[in-house]
Structure 1
Amino acid sequence: MWEKLVLKYTSDLFLIEELWLELKESYTSVDRYYHNFEHINLMLELAEKYSQLISQQHQLIFAIFYHDVIYKATRSDNEEKSAALAVKRLRELGFPEEATAEVHEMILATKKHLQSNKSDTNLILDFDLAILGSDWESYHNYTQQIRKEYSFYPDMLYRPGRAKVLKHFLQQPCIYKTAVFRDALELKARENLTKELNLLR
């Protein structure tokens, strides 16, 4: 999907390969147990499944590829750094400036996951959190992967921090920002989050 997309904006095969290798190096890093290509591929599959709901297909796909390209569990500015790198790389590809700004905005939105007035932004937020509404086995596996990414924290620090994240989502009026995801996953997501929260106590 990467090559097919970027060939619409550049014929520089060296640049295409170089940027792909950069993405690959980031998402296959040894400390990535959840924020890896499996997560990206799931989001890309959802983008294909719900393509009829997407207004700006290319912007959303680029945002998926770059939204976690910079990820360090010790830092709180991953989204900002990922968005900045996306802008730099999309400019190299010759992607239109206004569209690049939209990608930047989508990536920043994945930091707080708040309702947006832009439908594509709401979709990428829901794609990003689709795992929360999965079956318990898949959800539990996700929680174990997240724990590994934060393995440098002892339980006495990790548990309250994780609980705070879970409560943040549970306190939102809606975890999912689009009607289609709310209808399909909202109840299950709340069930999973509540179950994990109880296990942390």
Structure 2
Amino acid sequence: MQVSELRAPWTQTNFPYTDDLMFINQSYVTMMMAYQEEKRHYHDISHILQLVSLQQAYTDRILDNEVVLFSIFFHDIIYNAQRSDNEEMSAAAAVTHLRKIGFPAEKTTAVNDFIIATKTHINPQNNPDLDYFLDFDLQILGASPEAYQQYTRQIRQEYSIYPDLLYKPGRKRVLQHFLEMPAIFRTPVFRELYEESARNNIQAEIDTL
């Protein structure tokens, strides 16, 4: 899937609720500009492309693909490595957009909750769609060692404002949190595919910190 192919799922997900193609196109451009900010090295349009590709691969297992897609498109639309409220601000941006197009209130609430959940990767309501969305977001942890190492370099670039003295202990805490979880991935299929490699990747990174 190419970046240019993101326009189709964006338009298709919006169009049932608004036929204002100018607004759909303008909001698409705004989204693309956000994910192409220079400060982004991992949380960029390539990350969104990967998650949409995963959504399309598992679409038949998802109950509400509109909620999952809007959650993907908006979950990192606000990103600043120096802030701790990126998820809340991204969720607010999603809600603003969804209200403009008349997206159903209960589905808008779900998108808000899905995006907020990426802060902790906890699913207190045991929503099966949220399980897939969170697993999509963490799939990189179970990627090949080479892809994982590229990911770690990109994350370090995003946090380049912080010296190693601050970055490494903070990063290690995040990684240890994942290792202490009973399972990193929430869905059986992702656990089977990625759990072992994710734990190996994470431990290998910890060993370098």
State the TM-score, normalizing by the size of structure 1: 0.98
Moved more, 180-189 or 8-17: 8-17
Distance 2:61 2:25 in 1: 30
Moved more, 86-95 or 108-117: 108-117
The match for 1:102 is 110
Moved more, 7-16 or 83-92: 7-16
Partner residue of 1:199 out of 199, 205, 208: 208
The match for 2:6 is none
Partner residue of 1:52 out of 34, 55, 60: 60
Distance 2:67 2:49 in 1: 16
Is the aligned partner of 1:91 residue 2:76?
Answer: no
Where does the alignment leave 5 or more consecutive residues of structure 2 unmatched? 1-8
Matches within 5 A, 1:71-150: 71-116=79-124, 117-150=126-159
**Alpha-carbon deviation of 1:15?**
1.0
Identity of aligned residues (%): 46
**Alpha-carbon deviation of 1:115?**
3.7
**Alpha-carbon deviation of 1:21?**
1.6
Q: Which amino acid aligns with 1:136?
A: P
Distance 1:180 1:103 in 2: 23
Q: Which amino acid aligns with 2:132?
A: L
State the TM-score, normalizing by the size of structure 2: 0.94
Cα distance per residue 1:60-92 (max 9 Å; x no partner): 000000000011000010001101110010111
The match for 1:67 is 75
**Alpha-carbon deviation of 1:114?**
1.5
Partner residue of 2:179 out of 170, 175, 178: 170
Look up the SS of the partner of 2:208 in the other structure: helix
Look up the SS of the partner of 1:129 in the other structure: helix
Structure 1 stretches of 4+ moved >2 Å: none
Distance 1:67 1:182 in 2: 23
